[in-house]
Chains A and B, each alone.
Chain A
């Protein structure tokens, strides 16, 4: 940070540059994940995916991106033009805003605000607005169904996510993700998922609850990014493409990008809250600002891999099952965890 500041010596330029860093990261990362997803999907089904563009199809994501960029941008005649144009932007802004509070490294965080975790939950809801807007503006029944489903789903699953975050906040005592990560610094044993750096008795008592919380956060985060066991908003087999049926070209690419960016966000939140964020799992070994970025991205990437693995394993839930899982399973269990963690921390 200081380095960039000394080069440009202008706070505005520096802040613009720093806020553009995640964008570059998102684009590069989306290409990588696109490739990974296709390859993992193919190999799970005993196929090989693309092989002909570059070595083992490495250039295919770039080709895909270029193809999307040069496609015609079609707006349906009967669509609500303004909302139709606005929707992908809002969805992407919601996703991108979340990157402001992700602690990529001990020296890099977009905005070091006190309410980091709270901010995440808040801007996460903006994506729902974007998707619902897209569904409504398309003036298409499939899209509308997708949008409505997405709203129902994301609002339901935000509650478990929020409670899971509250549990971590109770343990760490801070909403600032940088502080939450610092709290867990110093090896795998200090991670919140294993009870955090507390006295061993308390830690042992906390552990089952934190593990359950972590697991539930993982499940609800899959639901929040609309991925396969919970991909009802864009269920291909029922709704064509759900809310983005009518989108093409650049706008579709924006939804796509925001979906993959969101995937990283929820993974990164899980990592920052439970798996020590940028801190090395080996204590002081391999730790430092640069290694921090590596650990943060690597942990989140493993998370993303697991989400891809889940996606290509499980079939889609029914709408009522989706609601059942959220309201009757995840939420009550999390409340139980919340209560128990509170009691243990008070003791």
Chain B
């Protein structure tokens, strides 16, 4: 193309491309915007989305498997054995609960939302919910305690266990003493199997 031709062509071409661009933008000006007005309108989150953890403490048997599965150690569980005279009830899966759970803390600030704690749970009591708005000004507020035991209940349970343990040791000592006495009489008799504490 000659110089003059290029000159006129470039003018035409630039005007043409401007028109093309402006047609595209005016089209977008009148199409619906893609914005979701977040706090007022929320997007539907996927069915299997992993967000904040929730523990249904009534179902928890205190097996500690979630805590062991956790790669960042954000779950802390304390347990107290219950004595045979107390009935802690059944879980929704008809497993007998044998442990008090005075402490079930999840430090959600540490949680990496991997969901690994959810699968080992034998009673399906630790679950991922769809709650994702839980920011706090203080990091301490992000440690969630799920235990529903009061301080008195905890001390009570502890004392009872202590008492029971003492009773058991006393019983065992008595049995052992009796056996020893017996053994002295019948030297060939093996000692009786010690009764295991409530498990």
Binding site for B on A (CB under 8 A): 40, 42-48, 51, 309-310, 312-314, 328-329
Q: How many A-B residue pairs have CB under 8 A?
A: 39
Q: Please tell me if the beta carbons of A43 and B33 are within 8 angstroms of each other in the complex.
A: yes
Q: Please tell me if the beta carbons of A46 and B25 are within 8 angstroms of each other in the complex.
A: no
- Neighbour of A46 across the interface among B7, B18, B31, B37, CB < 8 A: B31
| Chain A positions within 8 Å of B37 at CB level | 48, 51
Q: Please tell me if the beta carbons of A43 and B34 are within 8 angstroms of each other in the complex.
A: no
CB distance from A227 to the nearest CB of B (A): 14
Binding site for A on B (CB under 8 A): 7, 11, 18, 21-22, 24-26, 28-35, 37
Report how far A328 CA is from B4 CA in the complex, Å.
Answer: 12
Closest 9 CB pairs of A and B: A313-B25, A48-B35, A313-B21, A46-B34, A48-B33, A44-B25, A46-B33, A313-B22, A43-B29
The answer to whether A47 and B33 touch (CB under 8 A), given A309-B26, A313-B22, is: yes
Report how far A46 CA is from B36 CA in the complex, Å.
Answer: 11
Given A310-B22, A313-B25, 8 more A-B residue pairs with CB atoms under 8 Å apart are: A42-B33, A44-B28, A44-B29, A46-B35, A47-B33, A47-B35, A312-B25, A329-B11
Report how far A310 CA is from B26 CA in the complex, Å.
Answer: 10
CB distance from B67 to the nearest CB of A (A): 42
Report how far A42 CA is from B35 CA in the complex, Å.
Answer: 10
| Chain B positions within 8 Å of A40 at CB level | 29
Report how far A130 CA is from B69 CA in the complex, Å.
Answer: 68
| Chain A positions within 8 Å of B35 at CB level | 46-48
B7, B25, B30 interface centre (most CB from chain A within 10 Å): B25
| Chain A positions within 8 Å of B34 at CB level | 46-47
Q: Which residue of A lies closest to B32 (CB)?
A: A46
Report how far A309 CA is from B27 CA in the complex, Å.
Answer: 11
Q: Which residue of A lies closest to B28 (CB)?
A: A44
Q: Please tell me if the beta carbons of A314 and B33 are within 8 angstroms of each other in the complex.
A: no
CB distance from A50 to the nearest CB of B (A): 11
Report how far A43 CA is from B26 CA in the complex, Å.
Answer: 9
Report how far A7 CA is from B117 CA in the complex, Å.
Answer: 82
Report how far A76 CA is from B7 CA in the complex, Å.
Answer: 46
The answer to whether A314 and B28 touch (CB under 8 A), given A47-B35, A329-B11, is: no
Report how far A313 CA is from B18 CA in the complex, Å.
Answer: 8
CB distance from B69 to the nearest CB of A (A): 42
Q: Please tell me if the beta carbons of A46 and B22 are within 8 angstroms of each other in the complex.
A: no
- Neighbour of B28 across the interface among A45, A48, A310, A329, CB < 8 A: A45
| Chain B positions within 8 Å of A312 at CB level | 25
Q: Which residue of A lies closest to B20 (CB)?
A: A313
Report how far A42 CA is from B26 CA in the complex, Å.
Answer: 12
Q: Which residue of B lies closest to A311 (CB)?
A: B25
Q: Please tell me if the beta carbons of A309 and B28 are within 8 angstroms of each other in the complex.
A: no
Report how far A42 CA is from B34 CA in the complex, Å.
Answer: 10
CB distance from A49 to the nearest CB of B (A): 9
CB distance from A145 to the nearest CB of B (A): 25
Report how far A313 CA is from B27 CA in the complex, Å.
Answer: 11
A309, A313, A314, A329 interface centre (most CB from chain B within 10 Å): A313
CB distance from B159 to the nearest CB of A (A): 56
Q: List 22 A-B contacts (CB under 8 A).
A: A40-B29, A42-B33, A43-B28, A43-B33, A44-B25, A44-B28, A44-B29, A46-B32, A46-B34, A46-B35, A47-B34, A47-B35, A48-B33, A48-B37, A51-B37, A310-B18, A310-B22, A312-B25, A313-B18, A314-B18, A328-B7, A329-B11
Report how far A312 CA is from B27 CA in the complex, Å.
Answer: 13
| Chain A positions within 8 Å of B30 at CB level | 43
